[in-house]
Amino acid sequence: MKLASYTKDGTPGFGIVTKGGILPLDGRLDGIANLQALIETDALDKARAVSGEATLDPADVTFTIPVGNPEKIWCIGVNYGNRNAEYKDGSDLPKYPSLFVRSRQSFVGHDVPLERPRVSEQLDYEGEIALVIGKGGRDIPRETALDHIFGLTICNEGTIRDWLRHGKFNVTQGKNFDRSGAIGPWIVTTDELDPKSELSLETRVNGEVRQKDTTANLMFPFDYLISYLSSFATLSPGDIIVTGTPTGAGVRFDPPIWLKPGDVVEVEVSGIGTLANGVADQGTGNA
């Protein structure tokens, strides 16, 4: 099942995405006002039981990030096997994941422009697969970790590169600019997409392929990430884990290729679909 969050004429909604359009769920599930509440109350079976036609055209809604207010958005760095070599520092492969967190405000939904901030021109893209936690927990063993996934979605983990180096030991500033990244367009539940399957990821800028890899090359697979994170922090329903980006981000070109207004970034993941976003300067809203 594909589940999306959106607004229509300024009113929030959520629903099931089908080939024929969107079947709205808001107002049809007792006590469940949004997709985040559906996840938190483990009400997927109630959503499956809703009948009716897909009455909404996706072109008539504005997509928002699927989970409107996640408690935690965990982001994993340097997780594809050949990414460590991009740093050209001669280091061994990491023993543990690199990790940082992002705010809800740093992401927009599908087909909403990414924002290039006034203070920097170094807006970069990072196509990634994201996990949405359904069943929370602490000290989750790897053997059962995948059972805690509600579904999978796509992330463009947009980054302001020069601001990554403002702090001595952290990258938080460059990873948390408002509206610099995107998540969506929807969540595909695990009954439709097996998280154990090999997934391919491709990032395109203006139609040009920049990133291409598969989850077979992850150094820290999905089950490991869930187990590792839950060893020090309780995972909650609706938490998002952004699992890492392949080689080929704009910073790795010589000279670097930064995103600029008018560009279109597409991140396509097999079994999920395509997350697409234009680029706009801060305050203009025009891609």
Residue 133: which H helix or E strand, with range? strand 127-133
Query: What's the CA gap between 210 and 179, in Å, rounded?
Result: 22
Q: What's the pLDDT at 169?
A: 86
Query: What's the CA gap between 28 and 45, in Å, rounded?
Result: 13
pTM attached to this predicted model: 0.95
* pLDDT > 90: percent of the chain: 90
* pLDDT > 70: percent of the chain: 96
Q: Residues 157-197: pLDDT tens digits? A: 999 999 999 998 889 999 999 999 999 999 999 999 999 99
Query: What's the CA gap between 178 and 176, in Å, rounded?
Result: 6
145: which 2 tokens? 């970790």
Query: What's the CA gap between 91 and 6, in Å, rounded?
Result: 44
Beta bridge mates, 160: 123
Q: Residues 5-42: pLDDT tens digits? A: 999 999 999 999 999 999 999 999 999 999 999 999 99
Q: What's the pLDDT at 220?
A: 97
Q: Name which of 153, 150, 114, 158 is nearest 226 in CA terms.
A: 150
